[in-house]
Structure 1
Amino acid sequence: MDKAGNPSVLLSVVSPVYNGSAYLTPFLESVLHQTFRDFELIMVDDGSADESLEIIQTYQEKDACIRLIRQSHKGAGSARNVGFSQAKGQYIIFLDSDDWFKEDFFKIMIDRITKDQSDVVVCEFFIYNQQTGGQIRSIIPETGKRKIEKTDLALDLFTPSTWVKLYRTAFLKQNRLLFQEIPSCNDWSFVFASLACANKISVIREPLMYYRTQTSSSISSYRYKRTKDIVLAIKNLKHELKSRGLHSQYQAGFARKSVNHLVYEAFAGRRWTGIYVLIRNLLIVNDWAVYKAFVFKVIRYFGKRICKGFN
């Protein structure tokens, strides 16, 4: 029981749903068949117009661990924040409703975070699509014998994905960490700010879940809006780091992560000059000085086309 006398659980699982009926059943099946059972599943329906709500309600009748919250369509960031505000678990994880998981996913993550007394635990995962099947995605690249500093670990070597990260709930609340309520990239600032704030991060070098990639057509259809959201996310992360007195400690990692994502968008969207302007306007002089050498190395490597944006 919590302080208010309500039933408490060890783990809260929060998942936003918006028109996700196509993949919702395998998601629910894999969650509800976990070997670890001390959890609540908070499904936040974000104004779905398909059969998502009916599917959730059907499963809710079968399993009391499911809690359903409904809201008008406000986006995944808002839905995660609403679910977070209602969570009762000592630990919390935010999952996407089109992915699925190994049956011992929760158990392995909980065992590690309790054993290590970490603020965050991160696992590896499979990337899945209809064309390629499953593929292991490494959390930390091979670094040889180089010592990995906390600044590198927090901002350089992890993905901005919530679904492979289990958090201590009190840690998130103490640091007032919330998701940005923007259409896409709403977890970017949350993830990197939480990693920067964490005193201890544990890594599980085993893929425990399956991330379902979107089709190329759906990605390209919102690429321009996504680029604008990335800029908003980067600006918000900079604010989060500064407000916590962490910006000077993480300024090099922040610059690298920011430029990496913007350069990726440049290649994906073929807008070389525009992305360069965003980079120069976004980063303060000190950040740019730290990372300038790397940027020009990237430019030289990828050829003359992107160089035109710098002339």
Structure 2
Amino acid sequence: MISVIMLTYNREKLVSRAIESILAQTYRDFEFLIVDNGSTDRSGQIAEEYAAGDGRIRVIHRERGNIGSGRNAGLDAAKGDSIAFIDDDDWAEPDFLEFLLALLEENGADVAICGAADKSFDEKKVMTAEEALIELMWRKKYNMAFPTKLFRRELMEHLRFPEDGAYDDIALMYRLLAEAETVAYHGLPKYTFYRHEGNNSAWTTNHSLLTPETLEEYLRAYRARTVWLSERFPAGAASFRYFEWSFMISMVEKIDRLGLKDCEPQRKAMERELSAGREEFLRAPELLPFEREWMMEYIKGE
């Protein structure tokens, strides 16, 4: 059985579409855990109405907490052999679960990953943990988001989402992939992320929404990621440093181009870090041409 976990908070106009996309799955042996994260609208009531008509749905009502604590409530209640996630403003294709489960089982994998409407590639890969992590950091084929992925339960037995901050995915996804023996990917689009300004990650597609608090959280998470992964996979440490610096120089450019004055303290801190690592970054085999241009424009070296 698959446990599908969905956190909902004040999405009464969208949550039915997400729920119905799971109930329409061609793979039928699942439980659907809907965690009502303290909604003040009808989201929780709508979930209960669906649960009354389908015994696979269980609704968990809880006081308002962050995304991580809500997802943990779902994980703690899950009984399935594997775990999938859907966000309450998105939707899945009818064969989403069937596709991911087949990918998992056919490859003896611990994690299966499909494509999404905005990241679609008819390409298959079977990867080690380190290969999957490098692909994750490129963010071209798949990203940090938990939807589009199916995890064997054993992988998540001792790992939980952080219960502080707003972006739990960037703090946990790399740790999960690092635990995998095998990660299977087939980039056909089986999921749609609905992008809108009320979305928690809206700033990633509209960079003018970036706030100092969001940037600080990302910088802390990426620093922790570099340190943790460099200890776990020492041979890849230089690549992990590159990806952290890559994020920094992209943020420096955006803060400058968009005139995000509130983020100036973070910009100065990133410039100091990039200046200290300037020569190593510029020698990185992964370095992209535009990153070199930005470094030459913004970072003069120590």
Most deviating of 216-225 and 41-50: 216-225
Match of 1:166 among 150, 165, 174: 150
The residue that corresponds to 1:212 in the other structure is 194
The residue that corresponds to 1:291 in the other structure is 281
User: How much has 1:102 moved relative to structure 2?
Assistant: 0.8
Letter in 2 for 1:259: W
Give the fraction of aligned pairs with identical amino acids, expressed as a percent: 22
After TM superposition, the score normalised by the length of structure 2 is 0.80
Distance 1:200 1:70 in 2: 35
Letter in 1 for 2:225: L
The residue that corresponds to 1:94 in the other structure is 85
Do 1:238 and 1:247's aligned partners in 2 also have CA atoms closer than 8 Å?
Answer: no
User: How much has 1:259 moved relative to structure 2?
Assistant: 2.5
The residue that corresponds to 2:130 in the other structure is 151
Letter in 2 for 1:256: Y
The residue that corresponds to 2:111 in the other structure is 120
Do 2:226 and 2:241's aligned partners in 1 also have CA atoms closer than 8 Å?
Answer: no
User: How much has 1:214 moved relative to structure 2?
Assistant: 2.2
The residue that corresponds to 1:7 in the other structure is none
After TM superposition, the score normalised by the length of structure 1 is 0.78
1:197-234 deviation digits (Å, cap 9, x = unpaired): 21100011311111111239963445322111112322
| Aligned-partner SS, 2:79 | coil
Distance 2:272 2:76 in 1: 37
Q: 1:99 to 1:296 in 2, by over 3 A?
A: closer
User: How much has 1:188 moved relative to structure 2?
Assistant: 0.9
Distance 1:292 1:32 in 2: 50
Do 2:25 and 2:97's aligned partners in 1 also have CA atoms closer than 8 Å?
Answer: yes
Which consecutive aligned stretches of 4+ in structure 1 deviate over 4 angstroms post-superposition?
A: 138-142, 279-283, 287-290, 294-299, 308-311
Query: CA RMSD, aligned part only?
Result: 3.3
Structure 1 regions of 5+ residues with no counterpart? 1-9, 128-135, 143-147
User: How much has 1:141 moved relative to structure 2?
Assistant: 11
Task: Kindly tell me the number of residue pairs found equivalent between the two proteins.
Answer: 282
Do 1:235 and 1:282's aligned partners in 2 also have CA atoms closer than 8 Å?
Answer: no
Distance 1:101 1:204 in 2: 16
User: How much has 1:308 moved relative to structure 2?
Assistant: 5.9
1:172-187 correspondence runs (5 A) = 172-173=156-157, 176-187=158-169
Q: 1:239 to 1:18 in 2, by over 3 A?
A: farther
Do 1:14 and 1:92's aligned partners in 2 also have CA atoms closer than 8 Å?
Answer: yes
Match of 1:258 among 229, 244, 250: 244
1:78 aligns with 2:57: no
Q: 1:168 to 1:230 in 2, by over 3 A?
A: same
Do 1:125 and 1:164's aligned partners in 2 also have CA atoms closer than 8 Å?
Answer: yes
Match of 2:12 among 15, 21, 24: 21
Q: 1:239 to 1:308 in 2, by over 3 A?
A: closer
Q: 1:256 to 1:109 in 2, by over 3 A?
A: same
Match of 1:195 among 166, 171, 177: 177
